Amino acid sequence: MTLLTCQHEAEIRRLLQLGHWPQSCTADLRTHAETCRACGDLVLLTQAFQGARAVSIRNSEERQAELGSSLPAPGVLWWRAQLRRRNAAVKQIQRPILGAQIFAFALTLLVAAGLLVSQARHGVQWLAWLESLPQAQAFHWEVLWSSASALKTSASLGYLVPGAVLLALVSGVVAYLATEKQ
């Protein structure tokens, strides 16, 4: 590469960019491009790149013709990619949340069953109407709640409710930490 530029280089560059080389140039300019190394290299490289670009465009058009349809707009492709990414994130987040909901439902059922057993053992008045039924004479709660009769400790609501609340809080923290790691 030389530091000095040729005086005809700008004119040859303009003709090459417009696509008018060598048809609309003078014979002197063509002769100069053949003898001047800088101008000859400029012509050679520019024509090689323009030929490669033309071949690439032609191949791209043929490929699109083979596919039968043109590609969607880039904005549509970006929107679809963002939608897929968001749906994948929602799906990944929903798995532990569903597990936590199932655990909380099972825990609620367990606490409700424990509360019913506790209240039935201690003879709360809201179950007194069962005794007034005609079949209540032959119906024994101890048979139905054999596990309740096996428990001889007096589990009161003062211990049962705070224990259930503490268990729910701990399970919520565990579910939160499990989702944070993923």
pLDDT digits (tens, 9 = 90+) for 113-164: 888 787 777 665 555 655 665 554 455 555 544 444 444 445 566 677 777 7
Q: Report the alpha-carbon distance of residue 129 to residue 107 in Å, rounded.
A: 28
Which pLDDT band, with edges at 50, 70 and 90, does 30 fall under? confident
pLDDT at 84 exceeding the cut of 90: yes
The sign of the torsion formed by the CA atoms of 100, 101, 104, 109 equals negative
- For residues 71-91, give the mean pLDDT: 89
In percent, how much of the chain has pLDDT > 70?
73
CA 30 – CA 9 distance, rounded (Å) = 12
| pLDDT greater than 50 at residue 32 | yes
Question: Residue 4 is encoded by which pair of tokens?
Answer: 């000095």
